[in-house]
Amino acid sequence: MKKLILVITALIITFSAQAQIESHVKWQYAFKKVSATEAVVLIKANIDNGWHIYSQNVAEGGPVKTSFTFAPSKEFALVGKTIEPKPITRYEKVFSMNVGFFENSVVFQQKIKLKGKNATVKGKLEFMTCNDSKCLPPDEVEFSIPVKL
């Protein structure tokens, strides 16, 4: 009987913890061919209404910026840095500074040079989601994007 109570308690705690996890950003991945040997990897954030994520270019002392880490590969080489569109910028009292961010959706782009006809671009991204009243803890997402020329 004690084992049954322990199992039920563990299940309740597990389901309660999962129900409390907030997620206001969904990520999508694609690529577009730009030449016979190059492609651009597209990493899109779809952001819930009222929420935002931060630019890659946030000064020290600000919120956690969006960042990308690409796993080294013999299949491709990165060309330049990950680019982003111009962010919305406003002064945020909490950080005592101007901060760039994105609402609704944003597409980050990373150009790559393939060493063959196919590659799998793997890595992880880190971001922080906020609204006008709170910020969620930074989150990391792993990605794997098949690219075929």
Instruction: Report the predicted TM-score, pTM, of the whole model to 2 decimal places.
Output: 0.85
Question: CA separation (Å) from 8 to 16, 19, 66?
Answer: 12, 17, 39
What are the backbone angles phi and psi of residue 142, rounded to the nearest 5°? -90, 145
- Percent of residues, the chain, with pLDDT higher than 90: 81
Domain boundaries, given as residue ranges, for the chain = 23-148
Fold classification of 23-148 (topology level): Immunoglobulin-like (2.60.40)
- Asked if pLDDT for residue 56 goes beyond 90, the answer is yes
Q: Which helix (H) or strand (E) holds 13?
A: helix 2-20
What's the rounded mean pLDDT across residues 60-89?
97
What's the rounded mean pLDDT across residues 105-123?
97
What's the rounded mean pLDDT across residues 43-66?
97
Q: Give me the pLDDT at residue 141, please.
A: 98
At residue 61 the predicted structure's pLDDT band, cuts being 50, 70 and 90, is: very high
Per residue in 90-105, pLDDT (tens digit) is: 999 888 999 999 999 9
Distance (Å, rounded) from C-alpha 122 to C-alpha 119?
A: 9
Please, which residues have CB within 8 angstroms of residue 72's CB and are 6 or more apart in sequence?
Answer: none
Reference 55, options 134, 127, 137; nearest CA is 127
On average, the pLDDT of the chain sits at: 89
Query: Which amino acid is present at 5?
Result: I
Q: Give me the pLDDT at residue 10, please.
A: 38
Q: Give me the pLDDT at residue 20, please.
A: 55
User: Cα dihedral sign for 103, 100, 54, 85?
Assistant: positive
- Asked if pLDDT for residue 16 goes beyond 80, the answer is no
Q: Give me the pLDDT at residue 7, please.
A: 35
